Structure 1
Amino acid sequence: MNTKVLFTIATGLVLSTTNISAQATDCATTASIAYEHAKVKNYASAEEPLWKVRKECPTYSVATYQFGQKLLVDKYKKATGAAKVALANDIITLWKERFQYFPGKTKLGDMHSDIGQLMYDNKIGNLESQFAEFDKAYTEDKGNFKRPKKLYTYFSLFVDLHGEGKKELQGVFDLYDDITEKIENEESRLAKKIATLTEKEEAGTVLTSKEKRKLKNSGINLTAFSKVKAGINQKLGELADCKNLIPLYNGQFDAKKADVAWLKSAAGRMSSKECTDDPLFFKLVESLHKAEPSSKSAYYLGILALKDKKTTTALKYFNQSAELETKASDKAKVYFKIGEIMKKQGSKGKARSYYRKALAQKPSMGVCYLRIASMIASSANSCGEDVFSKRAVYWLAENYARRAGKVDPSLRSTASKFAANYKAKAPSKTDIFNNPGKKSVSIGCWIGETVRVPKL
């Protein structure tokens, strides 16, 4: 190879390297300009350089797609009609490009559920294609599929497809059970935060700004999940009524009577919908207990014993169920059932103990706080030493009622009414003024708690 040829090759390599270096520098410069504008939400100035980076340097940084999504979402929120649909498609395209170039930095649950929601909201595609996106999100990355609205849309689409004869009714029930469990887990996580911070506040500790923010955000998110759960129950509607359940399960019984998972699901749904008077319920429970004596079968035997007014036998089965149960929300249900029996029998201390056990398993079970509040309020005359301390019992009842509304937004209105009623019966400002020096009141008998005297 002569010197001239070698020189030509060397020159080409230098020029090539120089061009690559220049392109990289240009990408960095353009991206820097785009990102700085996008950071302060100056999307009008960010758009041209941002799309230039996206087109010419698609692998430069995932920030291109993050800021690009914010820019498009900002436009999307302000748009209407055909322009809104076009922007929805632009966002979908952007998501797909991000996944193409940065799969390791793209959460499938976020991507597919976001695409599905945009398609649903803007009537892009059909029910099946919309559902397919949500189904990918849920089956491939369930942990990152947790936005309340999207969970509702996913279930709603499944029910609609069932209405068109494209999904089985049993599939509707299976998805309902799975999504409800996911929502209840989120509710319990948030309610636990709220309960902990509320108790801290009631004890007189001033919350930090971070704790106040956490308390507020947990309340907002809990409300969202509560609304979605109510919406899912409404969407399920008559599909889960006894008139549909009984013929469905009767038809499946012979083929599935040895299937423990199916027996648990069928008996559980019939129990929750109060279809327990039908002979099928007894057949389900009998088969379940024979196939696999468990917490579930013991619980249902307790239900049947209660129907026969055999309370002692029922309590024996419920306690067995609680001991065997491993799922927190179901264990809470059993403890609540025992608490209800104890309350009915007038054993308030024992009832409270079981309501607390239920709350320990499922912190969002606000009804337990309402039950405790009711028992405390009904004991005002018997658990106070004098007029002031007797009326002070209502402060404690008020506190419990307010907790109910905080951990379970669906009870907020009811809890607020009870709390207001208890507050009206508690010592007035004049009573507090006439009892100077009283910072707290110790309440005796079965209650055994101390309540703070509100500051004037």
Structure 2
Amino acid sequence: MNTKVLFVIATGLVLGTTKVSAQATDCATTASIAYEHAKVKNYASAEEPLWKVRKECPTYSVATYQFGEKLLKAKLKKAAAGEKKAIASEIITLKKERYQYFPAKTKLGVMHSDIGQLMFDNKMGTKDSQFAEFDKAYNEDKGNFKRPKKLYTYFSLFVDLHDEGKKELQGVFDLYDDITEKIENEESRLAKIIAGYTEKEESGTALSSKEKKKLKNAGINLTAFSKVKAGINQKLGERADCANLIPLYNGQFGAKKGDVSWLKGAAGRMSAKDCTDDPLFFKLVEALHKAEPSAKSAYYLGILALKDKKTTTGLKYFNQSAELETKANDKAKVYFRIGEVLKRQGNKGRARGYYRKALKYKPSMGTAYLRIASMIASSANGCGDDVFSKRAVYWLAENYARKAGKVDPSLRSTATKTAANYKAKAPSKTDIFNNPGITKVQIGCWIGETVRVPKL
């Protein structure tokens, strides 16, 4: 090979390297301009350089797709009705490009559910194609499919497809159970955060600005999940009433009576819908307990015992169920049921203990707080030494009622009214003035708690 040829090759290599280097520099410069504008939401200036990076340097940074999505969503929000579908389509394309170039930084549960929601909101494709995106998200990456609105849309589409004859009723029930459990787990997580910060405030410790923000966000998200759960229950509606459940399960019983999973689901749904008077419920429970004695079968045997007015036997079965139960939400429901039985018997102290156990496993169970508040308020006259301390019992009842509304937004209105009623019966500002130096009141009898004198 002569010197001239070698020179040409070497020159080509240098020029090629220089070209690649220049392109990399150009990508970095253009991206920097685009990102700086996008950070301050100056999307008009960000759009041209951002799309240039997207086209010429698609693998430069995932930020291109993150800012691009924010830009397009801002456009979508302001767009006229006739323009929305095209912009939504572009967002979907951008999401798919992100997954193509940055699969490790793209969550499938988020991507597919986002695409499904965009299609649903903007009437793109069929119900089947919209549902398919949500179904991919749920089955391939359930952990990252958790936005309340998207969970509702997914379930709503499934029910609509059932109504069109494309999905089985049993499938509707199965998805309902799964999504409800997911929502209740999120509610418990958020309620635990709220309860923790609320107790800190009630103890007289001020929250930091960061803690206040966390408390506020937890409340907002808890409200969203509460609304979605109510919406899902409404969507399920009459499809899960006894009139539909009994013939469905009667028809399936012969073939399914050895299927433990099916028996649990059928008995659970009939119990939840209070279809327990039908002979089918006894058949389901009997078959379930024979196939696999468990927390569920013990719980249902407890229900049947109570119907026969065998309270002691019923409580025995419920306690067995609680001990065997592994799911926190279900364990909480059993403890709450025991609390209800004890409350009806007038055993307030033991009832409160079981309500507290329920709250331990499901912090979002606001009804348990209301039950405790009710029992405390009803004991005001018997748990104080004088007029002031007797009326102070209502402050404690008020505190419990307010907690109910904080951990369960669906009870907020009821809890607020109940708390206001208790507050009206508690000592007034004049009563506090006439009892100087009292900052706390120790409440006796079965209550055995201390309540702080509020600053009125």
CA distance in 1, matches of 2:129, 2:224: 26
Shift of residue 10 of structure 1? 1.3
Match of 2:133 in 1: 133
Question: 1:150-179, CA deviations, whole angstroms, 9 ceiling, x for partnerless residues?
Answer: 000000000011111111111111100000
DSSP-derived class of the 1:60 partner: coil
Shift of 1:80: 2.2
Equivalences for residues 207-218 of structure 1 within 5 A: 207-218=207-218
Partner of 2:432: 432
Amino acid at match of 2:337: K
Query: Matches of residues 386-397 of structure 1 in structure 2 within 5 Å?
Result: 386-397=386-397
Per the TM alignment, residue 55 of structure 1 is displaced from its structure 2 partner at its CA by 0.4
Quick one: which amino acid aligns to residue 147 of structure 1? R
Counterpart code for 1:271 = S
Measure how far apart 1:455 and its partner are: 1.7
1:355 aligns with 2:355: yes
Equivalence map 1:278-297=2 (5 Å): 278-297=278-297
* AA of the residue aligned to 2:35: Y
Residue 25, structure 1, aligned to residue 34, structure 2: no
- What is the rounded CA distance, in whole Å, between the counterparts of 1:315 and 1:143 in structure 2? 36
How many residue pairs get matched?
Answer: 456
Find out whether 1:373 has 2:373 as its counterpart.
yes
1:49-448 equivalent positions in 2, closer than 5 A: 49-448=49-448
One-letter amino acid matched to 2:235: K
Amino acid at match of 1:131: F
For 1:196, what is the secondary structure of its paired residue? helix
Q: Quote the Cα distance in structure 2 between the aligned partners of 1:71 and 1:15.
A: 37
**What percent of counterpart residues are identical?**
85
Deviations 1:335-387 (A, max 9, x none): 01110011000000000000000000100000000000000000000001110
What is the one-letter code of the residue matched to 1:97? Answer: E
Q: Where does structure 2 lack aligned partners over 5 or more consecutive residues?
A: none
1:5: how far off?
1.5
**Structure 1 position 436, deviation (Å):** 1.0
Rounded Cα–Cα distance in structure 1 between residues aligned with 2:278 and 2:455? 57
Between the aligned partners of 2:65 and 2:205, the Cα distance in structure 1 is 44
Map of 1:4 onto structure 2:
4
SS of the residue aligned with 1:341? Answer: helix
Structure 1: distance between partners of 2:303 and 2:330: 14
Which amino acid letter does the alignment assign opposite residue 373 of structure 2? Answer: A
Give the Cα separation in 1 of the matches to 2:27 and 2:200: 52
State the one-letter code of the partner of 1:381: N
Mean Cα deviation higher: 365-374 or 6-15: 6-15
1:182 is displaced (CA, Å) by 0.3
TM norm structure 1: 0.99
**Displacement of 1:9 after TM fit?**
1.3
Provide, for residues 184-213 of structure 1, a one-character-per-residue CA deviation record: whole Å limited to 9, x for no partner.
000000000111111111111111111111
C-alpha offsets along residues 393-428 of structure 1, whole Å, 9 cap, x if unaligned? 000000000000000000000001100000000000
Distance between the aligned counterparts of 1:97 and 1:308, measured in 2?
63
Letter in 1 for 2:400: Y
TM-score, normalisation: structure 2:
0.99
| Root-mean-square deviation (Å) | 0.6
The unaligned stretches of length 5 or more in structure 1 are none
Q: Find the residue that maps to 1:204 and give its secondary structure.
A: coil
* Partner Cα distance (2:317, 2:53) in 1: 67
